[in-house]
Structure 1
Amino acid sequence: MADLVYPPVIGAARTMFKALDLRFDISGTEHVPRRGGAVLAGNHIGYLDFVFAGLAARPAKRLTRFMAKESVFRNRLSGPLMRAMKHIPVDRAQGEEAFRQALAALRSGEVVGVFPEATISESFTLKTFKTGAARLAQQARVPLVPVALWGTQRLWTKGRRDLGRRHFPVTIRVGRPLRADPGEPAGSVTERLRERVQELLEAAQQAYPGQPRHAGDTWWLPAHLGGTAPAPPPGPAAG
């Protein structure tokens, strides 16, 4: 079935980004396979991350089917669009059906987008990764493509929305696909994925040209970069 809604939505998003004068720095898009199934897995720092992560797959002429919480599909505005773009609703209490749908999409040659942290990181550092992305790649026998986003939190994240913010950079880094061997424990694959996303995130942050305009504009920076974002939880989830 032809995608009648997804391309116009992408066009509208690009028009909005152009109007906001967002300055994109995207590299590594050659790592997204041009055909066949793949899991696109990245960090989660803002509500529009699925739009930005999806842009990473466009040079390969791929449309990404993102797994997203079910409440987005119940919204009267976003719901019809999400369903028309064939994204996959996730009921966190009963995730088996979402996993089945994602697996079927991968086996049919689709790119499926997953945020392994399962929720936005308010500290803008990596949280613990769930194993779902790794298990999907293992069972579908498809590559696991790591992605890191930086700057997207400045438009809309938990507790802050500034959809009119203009003239700032967005950095996207795509890494080489990871092999998810079915014989390897899913936790091990997940740890390799998290390590790679962490490397890409640090590279994106180092390349990011934006600086706080004043002392009160440090909220979007994590504490270890001199910002005032909430501290990450203790332990390995701090990244």
Structure 2
Amino acid sequence: MLYWLLKKVLLGPLLRVYYRPWAEGVENVPTEGPAILAGNHLTVVDSFFMPLVLDRKVTFWAKSDYFTESGVKGWFKRFFFSRTGNLPVDRSGGRASEQAMRSAERVLREGELLGIYPEGTRSPDGRLYRGKTGVARLALEAKVPVIPVAMIGTAEMQPAGRLIPKRMRPGVRFGKPLDFSRYEGMETDRYVLRSVTDEVMYALMQLSGQEYVDVYAATVKAKHAAERRDRGET
């Protein structure tokens, strides 16, 4: 209920008028039935503008930290992410990650759209990084198409440290659905999962025009954090 209230009445109209987002390829998103929307991830506002240009609801995977942070800020995050129907995902692996997979599969079985950022975190520098194979496993197990979605210009709108995005026109570009039915029954094969994931990332690279880096974004972020600690920076 809060999702539609924000999208149709409160936040959505304001974003449309003030930022005037543009969209291409919306016809590639089915008007009904399940599909995975796999997007590049540049900044926080990606999760606002991607669903804004669609008539259908998009349920996102969101990192579990958003649901467990303490304090007043943490309460607002928990309220927002839970009340708008997002699914917590624990990226540490094991049973917690498996639970997130099952929740995502339930959304797809119910015929809904599921939004995923295969990079697993926001890009540290605007480039496109190696995708994690969760998107491939979900697509094969749920037998649904993957629609690549490129966010355009959001990194410039909201660079690191900026709370309110600049007044610029962001874009959302939807690619043709990717059909992986040829791999049916092979969802446990790690080579197949990597191949499917790389195909999704290649489509994102073509749509977004980003430079591709065959390294996980989280690895790069961890390296940068370690270098800052070595220099005595916070």
Using the size of structure 1 for normalisation, the TM-score is 0.77
Alpha-carbon shift at residue 197 of structure 1 (Å): 0.6
Distance 1:105 1:18 in 2: 27
- 1:169 maps to which residue? 169
Distance 1:52 1:164 in 2: 12
Q: Describe how 1:134-149 pairs up with structure 2 within 5 A.
A: 134-149=136-151
- 1:220 maps to which residue? none
- 2:63 maps to which residue? 69
Change (3 A) 1:88 1:123: same
Alpha-carbon shift at residue 18 of structure 1 (Å): 4.2
- 1:201 maps to which residue? 208
Letter in 1 for 2:30: P
- 1:88 maps to which residue? 87
When structure 1 is superposed on structure 2, of 8-17 and 83-92 the one drifting more is 8-17
- 1:34 maps to which residue? 31
* Structure 1 stretches lacking a partner, 5+ long: 206-223, 225-231
Q: Deviations over 1:110-164 (max 9, x none)?
A: 111000000010111101000111111111111101000012223435x321415
Letter in 1 for 2:33: G
Q: Which runs of 4+ in 1 moved over 3 A?
A: 154-157
Letter in 1 for 2:56: R
**What secondary structure does 2:23 align onto?**
strand
2:130 to 117, 128, 131: 128
Identity of aligned residues (%): 32
Distance 1:197 1:70 in 2: 25
Q: Deviations over 1:33-61 (max 9, x none)?
A: 111111000100001211122224x2xx3
How large is the Cα RMSD of the aligned pairs? Answer: 2.1
Letter in 2 for 1:71: D
Distance 1:9 1:77 in 2: 15
Q: Describe how 1:199-238 pairs up with structure 2 within 5 A.
A: 199-202=206-209, 236-237=214-215
- Asked if structure 1 preserves the Cα contact closer than 8 Å seen for 2:158 and 2:165, the reply is no
Using the size of structure 2 for normalisation, the TM-score is 0.79
* Structure 2 stretches lacking a partner, 5+ long: 69-73, 187-191, 217-234
- 1:111 maps to which residue? 113
Letter in 1 for 2:77: S
**What secondary structure does 1:76 align onto?**
helix
- Asked if structure 2 preserves the Cα contact closer than 8 Å seen for 1:155 and 1:162, the reply is no
- Asked if structure 2 preserves the Cα contact closer than 8 Å seen for 1:175 and 1:196, the reply is yes
Higher helix share: 2
Distance 2:139 2:110 in 1: 13
Alpha-carbon shift at residue 236 of structure 1 (Å): 2.7
Distance 2:202 2:16 in 1: 33
